[in-house]
Chain A
Amino acid sequence: MSASSDVGFHAQRHARWHYGEAAFWLIVLACGFLFPSRYLIMTDILRLALFAMSLDLILGYAGIVSLGHAAFFGVGAYAAGLLALHGVINEPVLALIAAGLAATVLGFATSFLVIRGVDLTRLMVTLGIALLLEALAERFSNITGGTDGLQGIEMQPILGQIPFDMFGKAGFFYSLAVLFVLFLLARRIVHSPFGLSLRAIKNNPLRAAAIGIPVNRRLIAIYTFAAFYAGIAGALFTQTTAIASLDVFAFDRSADLMLVLVIGGTGYLYGGLIGAVIFRMLQEVFSTITPQYWQFWIGLVLVVIVLVGRQRLHYGVLFLPNLLIKQIAGRKAVVTVPESEA
Chain B
Amino acid sequence: MFEHKTFSRAAAIAAVAGLAGLAPVKAEDTVKVGLILPMTGGQASTGKQIENAIKLYMQQNGDTVAGKKIEIIVKDDAAIPDKTKTAAQELIVNDKVSFIGGFGVTPAALAAAPLATQAKIPEVVMAAGTSIITERSPYIVRTSFTLAQSSTIIGDWAVQNGIKKVATLTSDYAPGNDALNFFKEHFTAGGGEVVEEVKTPLANPDFAPFLQRMKDAKPDAIFVFVPAGQGGNFMKQYAERGLDKAGIKVIGPGDVTDDDLLNNMGDAVLGTVTAHIYSAAHPSQMNKDFVAAYKKAFGNRPGFMAVSGYDGIHLIYEALKKTNGDTDGTKLVEAMKGQKWESPRGPISIDPETRDIIQNVYIRRVARSKSDGELYNVEFQVFEAVKDLGKTKK
Contacts and interface: CB of A to CB of B under 8 A. Distances in A.
The answer to whether any beta carbons of A and B sit under 8 Å apart in the complex is yes
B146 to A, nearest CB: 15
Given A147-B107, A241-B82, A138 B201 contact: yes
Nearest to A238: B82
Interface in A139-153: 141, 146-149, 151
A56 interface: no
Main SS of chain B's interface residues? helix
Interface in B103-155: 106-107, 110-111, 114-115, 118-119, 130
B76 A291 contact: yes
Contact of A166 (B89, B110, B173): B89
B86 A44 contact: yes
Contacts of B202: 147
Contacts of B172: 138, 141, 146-147
Given A148-B106, A166-B115, A294-B76, A245 B89 contact: no
Contacts of B39: 291-292
> Which of B37, B75, B85 has the largest count of A CB atoms less than 10 A from its CB?
B85
Given A242-B114, A291-B39, A40 B174 contact: no
A274 interface: no
Given A166-B119, A168-B89, A291 B75 contact: yes
A218 to B, nearest CB: 35
A311 interface: no
B90 interface: yes
B368 interface: no
A204 interface: no
A141 B201 CA distance: 12
Interface residues of B, number: 33
A45 to B, nearest CB: 11
A290 B76 CA distance: 9
A339 B47 CA distance: 41
A45 B115 CA distance: 20
B173 A167 contact: no
A299 B365 CA distance: 44
Nearest to B88: A40
B27 interface: no
A37 to B, nearest CB: 5
B81 A287 contact: no
Given A37-B94, A146-B172, A149-B107, A166 B118 contact: yes
5 contacts: A40-B86, A148-B106, A166-B114, A166-B118, A292-B76
